[in-house]
A and B are shown apart, each in its own frame.
Chain A
């Protein structure tokens, strides 16, 4: 059987499974906006975990991290994986738990709607919507771009990038539109299993193919021992290391597509179970991701584009059938994030922009349909950006992560500090983003830290200062 035929069969089987899961969720999802956008706020521990984990782990981990480890070595693990194993679960408690309770109380379906209602200000909702969208669109773009890249590479170029990107976007749009949050949560269970099992298999087969764990590592040590230690300078410089740790640990809860998953949890107990499972699951994915890059540096030195290393390693160091299916793992990781992003942005356009401007509320069914139409429009935009935008996957993700961090002070203070006001939120968001842009442009003194560190600090200062100086009645 030719590799293209294998690829097509695997893709068709995969698409069939996610569409069936989407279809099964259709009946309940169509009944009300709360069912469609938040699965009736009834996600139990296991589905919630897979929905969060699948949404959290995208091609950034499967393709971007091997690419980064190819260049920077084993230090990438400590730079990213370890600290998120603690930071992400703690932010689920710090912001996710009160946000879930408040969203239920205010009957809010999106993060922006929650904070607008909490702070009694539609302006806060508009501003949050704008910033969420500004940083989510590039994040979606890198996902589609990397899935298209892998799909195209796996077919030896027979499937063009634009065709692969279109297939990815259309598939995610169809099952998301069919079943809403419930469909994306259940497909995430399937997709999460696909990429977790694949990464475990990759670790086993690749090390075996390279002569075993010992010889594989000895080869790296002989070729370039600096790949086995934390490097110097760049992201490894002490203040940059500390700043990046903060970015990657705190930014995930700010993703609207992550917070909305927590808002769909059935209770606190479900979130608590997720927190307990998270660090171990992260280690399961990140150890192989980093090692693929490090082993790849010895197996394929001098690559021009290090993002290619995942495909090269799976194609050359795994059994033919499994290796050619490496793209399915990437596809599953990308789609499990993309579907949540499509759903969340679609619901935010509906709830945070259209509804506040209408004098009459839309009927429940019409609201769900409007959400579907906005999701489709966002999918089309992301498709065109994925085809046209030429930057590395890590580069695009990094910009988005740093931008998201500017929303952290507002999202934390908004649910944990009763004196926080709408004026404080606006000040925090404007100042934080202003400082970040100035830092990126080199017009803000950084003293060795990264721009998002100062954006976070100044965002807190502005938010707290303005709230204390201009108290308002809730």
Chain B
């Protein structure tokens, strides 16, 4: 179960990284944060949550 979720999460993150469907706009959130950087930072937070899950469940199964 955890392995299945881990593969799903990994593929989802890769798909979100290859975001060629996303329109590129020079928009600044909060007046200073470029939309492109905001998107990547949210992606990094998701990646961190994924790694927390991965180390908690999948890694232990693997060990």
Contact = CB atoms under 8 A, between A and B. Distances in A.
Given A272-B55, A279-B51, A81 B44 contact: yes
Given A218-B28, A241-B18, A283-B41, A230 B36 contact: yes
Interface in A152-183: none
A114 B27 CA distance: 50
Interface residues of B toward A: which range?
A: 20 to 34
A225 interface: yes
- Interface SS majority for chain B: helix
B34 A228 contact: yes
B48 to A, nearest CB: 4
A268 B18 CA distance: 32
A280 interface: yes
B52 A82 contact: no
A245 interface: yes
A431 to B, nearest CB: 26
Contacts of A83: 17
A287 interface: yes
A280 B45 CA distance: 8
A228 B28 contact: yes
A229 B47 contact: no
Contacts, number: 98
- Interface SS majority for chain A: helix
A205 interface: no
Interface stretch (A1-9, A209-217, A457-465): A209-217
B25 A82 contact: no
Closest CB pairs A-B (n = 9): A213-B32, A225-B26, A229-B24, A228-B26, A86-B47, A214-B31, A82-B40, A279-B48, A228-B34
Interface of B: 10, 13, 17-18, 20, 24-28, 31-37, 39-41, 43-44, 47-48, 50-52, 54-55, 59, 62-63
26 contacts: A74-B36, A77-B40, A81-B40, A82-B44, A85-B44, A85-B47, A213-B31, A213-B32, A214-B32, A217-B28, A218-B31, A228-B26, A228-B27, A230-B24, A241-B20, A245-B18, A275-B51, A275-B54, A275-B55, A276-B48, A276-B51, A279-B47, A282-B44, A283-B41, A283-B44, A287-B41
